[in-house]
Amino acid sequence: MLDNISYFIRRALRNMRQWPVLCSAAILTMAVALATMATFFLVVINIQGLATSWSEEVQVVAYFQYPPAGNQLAPLIRKVEAFADVKQAIYITKTEALKRFEARLGDDAGLLEGVSRDLLPASLEISLKSGSHNREGVARVVAELKKDSRFDDLRFGQEWLERFENFVDLLKFVGLVLGSFFLLAALFIVSNTIKLTLYARRDELEIMALVGATKRFIQIPFLLEGALQGLASGVCALGFLTLAYKLLLQKSLQTFWLTPVGFDPIFLNGNQQLILVLCGILLGSLGSLVSLRKFVRL
């Protein structure tokens, strides 16, 4: 058994040494296919990360007709914070609202000179829990707030929220379609490249069958070879992806004008990197297996 295993490994390595061009072509093709898919995956998870951080901005602002009395405020905040979807409620006084407005006006703040300090209404800024940054979560909070007559007006960017959710849905759909397309294209290209490498070695396959090698005996070294090439291509793809991320993606995401402050671009985590290399091994082995079925006939 051990003799057989060492023989198969020796033969797989010897085959790779004897056919360096074919071997490199297979590794490169698989590496490009894997790197393309992984880059695409990386872009999608980063855009989704961006979308998630944008969605964290979703909040409900409830304006008071009359600011609550000092002893009523704390119970009101406690009541609102007790809603299932609410993370935090912050009270904004009339003065504070005007200060923010002034800050926003910047150089034009002088326009507010002489304006009454209680021009703007007091409000509660209600931020939502992570699972509630969607239309349903906002609607539940709004429904509860509407029951309280102390609130005069409610603002929650319904239109923006709808557009945002449609955008995320579109992103997921495009991701699925393009991802499937890349996967099929990669499988097609890889299986054809391996077919070509086996075609160049059909004499060897024929002679092995001629001298009484069993199908398994013929196939195992080729499968091992495919797996080793897949491993090499997975590592190459990971290296390429790391470089592309450091040099291009990270910088471009950090300078993207819509990227919120504090958003850290995401790279593949340990498990995802392992999965990428395993995908390489699987791609190489499956590509070899599919092609071998065509060439090894006893």
**Which residue number, 37 or 296, has a Cβ lying nearer to another protein?**
296
CB of 36 to another protein, least distance (A): 33
Any bridge partners for residue 126, and if so which? 60, 89
- Closest to another protein by CB, 150 vs 201, is 201
User: What string of DSSP letters covers 91-158?
Assistant: EE-HHHHHHHHHHHHGGGGGGGTTS-TT-SPPEEEEEE-GGG-SHHHHHHHHHHHHT-TTEEEEE--H
| Shortest distance in whole angstroms from residue 213 CB to another protein | 4
- Name the percent of the chain in helix, strand, coil, to the closest 5: 75, 10, 20
Using the minimum distance from each CB to another protein, give the nearer residue, 26 or 34. 26
| Burial category of 31 from C-beta neighbours within 10 Å (exposed 0-12, middle 13-18, buried 19 and up) | buried
Supply the minimum distance, in Å, between the C-beta of residue 295 and another protein: 14
Taking the least distance from each CB to another protein, the nearer of 20 and 114 is 20
Q: How far is the CB of 207 from another protein (least distance, A)?
A: 6
Contact residues toward another protein (CB under 8 A) are 3-4, 7, 18-19, 203-204, 206-215, 217, 298
Q: Which is nearer to another protein, 217 or 263 (CB)?
A: 217
CB-based contact 141:128 (threshold 8 Å)? yes
Nearest distance from residue 191's CB to another protein, in Å?
A: 23
Name residues whose C-beta falls within 8 Å of residue 181's C-beta, 6 or more positions apart in sequence. none
